[in-house]
């Protein structure tokens, strides 16, 4: 379980493709990793399979994860958002994040709004029903607030997508990988799990 508050910006040091899988090494900057620990990498819950005292960690990414997320585009030198699993004493500054990606979206545009940035993403239409204005969404592991659903003035969303706009403060822009994205780049999307539970409960109510 995670909260969507990014703790570290890691650097991919190796991305080696195997038989329908990807083996990734990341310089995490985390000095007290444990074997088998869960780390959210761009919002995807991955397991530490090897590590050293300097915080260099290895991860195995299966074909299932590659097909459902944007991790297949990881390359040496790329920057990734990292978050360790929460503890019972952790402040929940974001929202409940599982690290189980629901789909991939893409960056549409970025424009300055004073010192902040108005950022528009195109999200799969299948996820529209889980989103509400001022609600939470996780993009590449970052807990963010939805400012607009069906962002005004956006004509770049495809027939199976819908646009959402978020206001990104300078701290989030500089302390996550958002600032490295270019229009068209894919992002991992996780919707609020509570919304999915509510939907299921309503479907099966007597």
| DSSP class per residue in 127-149 | GGGG--TT-EEEETTEEEE--EE
Note the pLDDT of residue 206: 58
Q: Can you tell me whether residue 94 is helix, strand or coil?
A: coil
46: Cβ contacts below 8 Å, ≥ 6 apart: 38, 39, 40, 59, 60, 61, 65, 99
Note the pLDDT of residue 20: 86
Residue 110 lies in a domain: yes
Model confidence pLDDT, tens digit, residues 50-72: 999 999 999 999 999 999 999 99
The answer to whether 147 touches 198, Cβ cutoff 8 Å, is no
Residue 94 lies in a domain: no
Among the three residues 84, 116, 146, which one is the final residue of a domain in this structure?
84
**Residue ranges of the chain whose pLDDT lies below 70:** 152-155, 157, 206
Query: In the numeric block, which tokens belong to residue 36?
Result: 């088998």
Provide the residue range defining the domain that includes 155.
Answer: 103-202
Note the pLDDT of residue 50: 96
Residues 183 and 148 grouped into a single domain: yes
Residues 183 and 120 grouped into a single domain: yes
131: Cβ contacts below 8 Å, ≥ 6 apart: 123, 137, 146, 149, 164, 191, 195
Residue 96 lies in a domain: no
Report the DSSP beta bridge partners of residue 144: 137
Note the pLDDT of residue 155: 58
Note the pLDDT of residue 154: 63
CATH of the domain at 186: 2.40.30.20
Residues 163 and 108 grouped into a single domain: yes
Residues 61 and 130 grouped into a single domain: no
């Amino acid at each position: 379980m995670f909260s969507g508050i990014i703790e570290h910006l890691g650097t991919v040091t190796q991305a080696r493709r195997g038989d329908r899988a990807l083996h990734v090494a990341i310089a995490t900057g985390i000095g007290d990793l444990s074997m088998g620990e869960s780390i959210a990498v761009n919002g995807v819950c991955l397991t530490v399979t090897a590590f050293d005292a300097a915080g260099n960690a290895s991860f195995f990414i299966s074909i299932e994860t590659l097909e459902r997320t944007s991790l297949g585009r990881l390359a040496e030198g790329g920057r990734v958002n990292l978050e360790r699993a929460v503890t019972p004493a952790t402040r929940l500054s974001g929202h409940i994040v599982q690290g189980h990606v629901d789909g991939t979206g893409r960056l549409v545009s970025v424009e300055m709004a004073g010192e902040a940035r108005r950022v528009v993403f195109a999200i799969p239409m299948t996820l529209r029903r889980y989103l509400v204005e001022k609600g939470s969404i996780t993009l590449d592991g970052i807990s963010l607030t939805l400012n607009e659903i069906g962002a005004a003035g956006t004509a770049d969303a495809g027939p199976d997508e819908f646009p959402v706009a978020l206001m990104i403060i300078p701290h989030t822009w500089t302390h996550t990988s958002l600032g490295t994205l270019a229009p068209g780049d894919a992002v991992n999307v996780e919707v609020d799990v509570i919304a999915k539970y509510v939907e299921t409960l309503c479907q099966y109510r007597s």
